[in-house]
């Protein structure tokens, strides 16, 4: 009997993970997501299991990429202008050098922007899912945060986690929500077939 109950709970847990996985793609802006992923940990040599991992392209990188392209275009334009002015004896040499310096600085700045953000082209979200009617305790929330930080502490570059989500089918205790707010954990509950963000207790 107990094995049947456990199997049923496990199936419901997997269903919750798959539902939130789909929700992350459709509603939270992630373009790819999967369930049951293994990541490294600084306290467990075998690694730890993440219920849902989702990925999204870093919008800031996209903006910086556009700015860099514009700056490279400025570099090319000013370089051509310098070459043109260099052959004109009526143009003071300090103007020519000034244009050249400006174009070089634009090129250097564009390169710095691209290098600065290239490691964060793709960012990830980590979701902990709990299929239980009991209120999520402070201890469970703390455990999720510890697990999340255990990956961050490894300095592993496979995933760049920027958001931690805690998802449940029941409710959150006051202590759990306070801790979540302090640690910037986004909390969701499945209610009447829809996920609702919980920001109060």
Instruction: Tell me the pLDDT tens digit for each residue of 53-93.
Output: 999 987 766 676 777 777 777 777 777 776 776 666 666 66
Average pLDDT over residues 166-186: 96
Closest Cα partner for 33 from 41, 22, 19? 22
The whole model's pTM is what?
A: 0.73
| Annotated domain spans of the chain | 2-58+123-198, 60-118
For 2-58+123-198, CATH gives: 3.40.1350.10
3-state DSSP assignment of residue 169: coil
């Amino acid at each position: 009997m107990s094995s049947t109950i456990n199997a049923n709970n496990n199936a419901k847990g997997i269903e919750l993970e798959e539902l939130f996985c789909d929700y992350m793609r459709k509603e939270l802006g992630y373009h790819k997501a999967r369930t049951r992923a293994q990541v490294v940990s600084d306290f467990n040599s075998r690694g730890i299991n993440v219920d849902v991992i989702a990925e999204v392209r870093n919008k800031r990188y996209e903006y910086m990429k556009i700015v860099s392209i514009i700056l490279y275009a400025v570099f090319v334009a000013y370089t051509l202008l310098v070459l043109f002015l260099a052959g004109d004896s009526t143009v003071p040499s300090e103007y020519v050098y000034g244009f050249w310096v400006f174009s070089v600085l634009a090129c250097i700045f564009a390169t710095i922007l691209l290098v600065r953000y290239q490691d964060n082209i793709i960012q990830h979200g980590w979701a902990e899912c709990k299929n239980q009617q009991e209120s999520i305790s402070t201890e469970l929330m703390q455990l999720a945060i510890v697990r999340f930080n255990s990956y961050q502490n490894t300095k592993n570059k496979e995933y760049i986690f920027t958001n931690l989500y805690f998802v449940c089918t029941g409710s959150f205790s006051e202590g759990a929500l306070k801790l979540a707010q302090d640690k910037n954990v986004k909390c969701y509950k499945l209610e009447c077939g829809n996920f609702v963000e919980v920001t109060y207790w």
